[in-house]
Amino acid sequence: MTGVAESFKSYAGLVKGIKKGTVTQKPRLPNYRKSGGLALATFTGRSLKLKDGMIRFPLGSLVKAWFEIDAFYLPMPSNLDFKLIAEVRILPRNRCFYAEFVYQQKAELVELDKSKVLVIDHGLDNWLTCVSNIGTSI
């Protein structure tokens, strides 16, 4: 439901932009899947709990009434801090489910040497051709 709300907020913002004259193209209503198939499920970080190294994903009262299960658990990835997780998306792809973790990460400032350049060309006969201006190529 969060994704639906975000889509309609974006649509409403575009409609306001048309009225103000800042948007030139006419927006379309959000498009949703027809019945059948599996859809993306998003869990916010606030709804998740960490219990014995496992992340608890709540399923709601209706699922509990129908299937007598109120949550499912996945192991917590060892390379993430649970407090930094903003949301987890469960993606159905190719007859499998994938967990996509969205988290906050501190950005590092890196000093760039603008005199060094790498050019990448994707070709037809080979996947990538990379050439640098410092005499190395891959």
Q: Which of 135, 138, 129, 133 is nearest to 115 (CA)?
A: 133
For the whole model, what pTM was predicted? 0.57
- In the chain, at which residue ranges do the beta strands (DSSP E only) sit? 41-44, 49-51, 54-58, 71-75, 85-93, 96-103, 118-122, 128-132
120: in domain? no
Domain that holds residue 12: 1-32
- 5 in any annotated domain: yes
Span 17-68, pLDDT tens digits: 888 888 888 887 777 666 567 778 889 989 999 999 999 999 989 989 999 9
pLDDT, tens digit, for every residue of 64-97? 999 999 999 999 999 988 999 999 999 988 889 9
- CB of 66 closer than 8 Å to CB of 53: no
15 within some domain: yes
DSSP 94: T
In terms of Cβ atoms closer than 10 Å to its own Cβ (0-12, 13-18, 19+), residue 85 is buried
Domain count within the chain:
1
In a domain, 132, yes or no: no
Assess if residue 6 is contained within a domain: yes
Q: Give bridge partners of residue 43 from the DSSP assignment.
A: 88
pLDDT score recorded for residue 138: 57
Task: Give the model confidence (pLDDT) of 9-18 as tens digits.
Answer: 888 888 888 8
Model confidence at 5, pLDDT cuts 50, 70, 90, reads confident
Q: Please name every residue paired with 71 in a beta bridge, in sequence order, or none if there are none.
A: 58
